[in-house]
Chain A
Amino acid sequence: MKEQVTVSRNFKIITLLLIAIGAATIILGLITDHQTTWSNYLLVNYYFLSVAMGGAFFFVIQSISQSGWSSAFQRVSEAMMSYIPFAALFFLLIWFGVNDLYHWSHKGNMALDPVVLHKSAFLNVPFFFARMVLYFLLWIVFVRKLRQISLKGDLTDPADTSGIMFLFGKTELYSKIFIFILAITFSFSAIDWIMSVDVKWYSTIFALKNLVAAFLHGVSILTLIVFILYKRGYFPFLNEYHLHDFARYIFMFCIIWGYFWFAQFMIIWYGNIPEETVYFNVRWHDGWKVLFYLEIGLNWFVPFMVLLPVKTSRNMTIITIVIIFLIIGQYIDLFVQVIPGTTGILKFGWISAGIFLGYAGLFSLVVATTLSKANLLPINHPYLDESLNHKF
């Protein structure tokens, strides 16, 4: 069994090339079409932040529930969490694009609108960035702490049972605190960064829906990383029961996501209040309607129907296909949420593609380098043996 991930030269070259493409696209885009660039920047930034948050959530919930089966994959979720500081840097750079993204930041006529004026106590540029700094500080502190405790476990003497159990309890304690912080701050961040794009519109379930979307897609990317590592010979013990558990995770979250999506849509559709329906009115016409149906189809219908039988939930190829659908689904989900409020142009051009590729490269590089820095398996985890011989 290979103990540590090695990042190959080719992988580094490809990811660095992708990052270069992304950076070049952003610079060129800012010159030619700055509003499209900033809205895609926000979209993709949020996309990968929510994937990293999904990884953090997976780590935290598995520690709190003391699940045995997933302890071998702990390092993968830690690697995903380690992307959060990078996301923080990119989010702070939104300072320069805030006028292109958020109508409430305008000094002109828009700020005199009574509805926007009413919200200006919460939605103003200094407070917006103060909140952003606070969220990221909290996340980074906890993610660092959890990672530290996890790495400390590797250095402990295996015979020192009480020391190992102490670290195990500590991880659980920090996870318990972090899950509350994560739920509250990530909900607020979804409201701040995504919902305030349509400044006059509001929905109370919006934050919850985005929270669940982050967990759904985070866990699916985590599963994809585990599969890729397996194909390269890293998790030789991976069996159909692990696959089934991953599939059930995705299945469960897709149901919750679908539930929230539908709850938000149905109540607005049935209530038929103009200030709420204006949001769906835009997304209900022209080409947006295709995306509107694709969103629910890719994020809920496909995973739900495909992963319903036991046989498909234990097939790696089928789960991988579902995950690819979910990756596209998450992009469409965010595209439908962000773009109509900023540029309003339904177009997936070179700017969108370039920025996405750049971030994908960066995310892969960060995850791979973090994975290579420590043992792939948390060798002293009390539940490691259970995870290696997982069966039900």
Chain B
Amino acid sequence: MTRKFKIGIFDDEVKFISTIRSLQEEKLKIFDVFMPYPVHEVFHLLKRKSHLPTAAYFFGLFGILATLGFLYFASVINWPVVYGGKPFNSFPSFIVVTIVVTILTVTIGSLALFSARSKLFPGRDNTIFDLRATDDKFLIVVDTDLEDISIAGRVGNIMEEQGAIEVIDKEFEKVET
């Protein structure tokens, strides 16, 4: 089964955002947007919520506790060695290692979580709505394959009114986003 999409291409951030606003005022559902750089306002407009920072915080907490725990275990319990007259639990010297390992834990953890959540993995097939999405253009994709036939026309009108440099219709066999 093919799905039909209306794709608006913009070269201006302001026009792009105002189009999203007008589409939402008309209660038209946006399927996806593409930007050359992250725009905070779009994130708020599309009412997206991300728990990635919270997850990153807990990865960090885990990193700190795990590293300090391991260092304590290694240098106090399992194999105590006196270095330069320092106590076995020489806490200040553990901190540098802890900071570095914590950063690594947060980075790898967030990357893995983000990839898992957005189903990114090597060899994944991705639908490319328009090649310019990877360039400096802003894209708005609206699913027009709904019961209401008038949607396609209304979406196209709004996009053109707001100053899209191009509005195109495309059909896709299988959509993976």
Contact = CB atoms under 8 A, between A and B. Distances in A.
Q: How many A residues touch the partner, as a band?
A: under 10
Contacts of B95: 262, 266
A391 B84 CA distance: 54
Contacts of A308: 57
Interface in A376-392: 391-392
Interface in B74-91: 84-86, 90
Interface string A306-341: 001000000000000000000000000000000000
Interface of B: 40-41, 57, 84-86, 90, 92-93, 95-96
Interface string A256-275: 00000010011001101000
A270 B84 CA distance: 8
Contact of A266 (B40, B41, B85, B93): B93
Nearest to B53: A310
A285 B48 CA distance: 54
A308 B61 CA distance: 13
A391 to B, nearest CB: 8
A269 B40 contact: no
15 contacts: A262-B92, A262-B95, A265-B92, A266-B92, A266-B93, A266-B95, A270-B86, A270-B90, A270-B92, A270-B93, A272-B84, A272-B85, A272-B86, A308-B57, A392-B40
Contact of B96 (A265, A266, A269): A266
B136 to A, nearest CB: 21
Contacts of A272: 84-86
A270 to B, nearest CB: 6
A269 B91 CA distance: 11
Contact of B92 (A269, A391, A392): A269
Nearest to A241: B40
Contacts of A392: 40
Contacts of B92: 262, 265-266, 269-270
Interface string A238-281: 00000000000000000000000010011001101000000000
